[in-house]
Amino acid sequence: MIVLGDSLTEGYGVSKDSAFPAILEEKIKASGKNWTVVNAGVTGSTTASAVSRLKWLLRAKPDAVLVILGGNDGLRGIKVVESQKNLSAAIEMIQKEKKKVILGGLYMPPNYGLEYTAQFRKMYADLAKKYSVPLIPFILEKVAGDPNFNQSDGIHPNEKGHKIIAETIFSSLKEYL
């Protein structure tokens, strides 16, 4: 499984072994499935880079791709319609290769305005419905906004936060593995 993401996936500020993709792989293997989880997180990535990155990543012939992009789009105030268009193209590319797609949702903080945050949140549900793909509604559930689980920047999870994210994702994914 490839996890296509940004700094949250990459594990900004923590070791690669402490980032959620590595922990997720441990959880999957402990459940009796011999899956490898590839961390394809790149700090600063937006949805605009998804298709070009996938052209390279899909050469590895993964069984599944977990797409967790959009956070940097939102933080930069990119129009939701643009992010949705980019994510649609990525999902279509993965599905064309007959690979399983799982979508990981993100939320924007309330200071971006009620309308924008609502549209942003809805984007993931709309995409999941349109393409009939599983959705993890909010990968940062129980982590976002809690200083116990985030680094001092308040954005990037610490090691404890990554453990919670891995559990959230594994709980949602285990039926699809």
Domains and CATH numbers, the chain: 2-176 (3.40.50.1110)
Sheet with 64-68, edge to edge strand ranges: 38-41, 2-5, 64-68, 100-104, 135-136
Active-site residue, from 7, 18, 45, 83: 7
Determine whether 7 is an active site residue.
yes
- H or E stretch covering 5: strand 2-5
Active-site residue, from 6, 45, 156, 172: 156
DSSP 170: H
Give the CA distances from residue 85 to residues 3, 19, 50, 114, in Å, rounded to whole numbers and listed in that order.
Answer: 20, 28, 11, 21
Question: What is the tens place of the pLDDT at every residue in 49-90?
Answer: 999 999 999 999 999 999 999 999 999 999 999 999 999 999
Determine whether 152 is an active site residue.
no
pTM for this prediction: 0.96
Question: What is the tens place of the pLDDT at every residue in 91-114?
Answer: 999 999 999 999 999 999 888 999
Residue 66, pLDDT score: 98
Phi/psi zone of residue 18: left (φ > 0), alpha (ψ -120 to 50 degrees), beta?
A: alpha
Query: Residue 98, CB half-sphere, CA atoms under 13 Å: how many?
Result: 0
Question: What is the tens place of the pLDDT at every residue in 103-162?
Answer: 999 999 888 999 999 999 999 999 999 999 999 999 999 999 999 999 999 999 999 999
The DSSP line for 128-167 is: HHHHT--EES-TTTTTTT-GGGB-TTSSSB-HHHHHHHHH
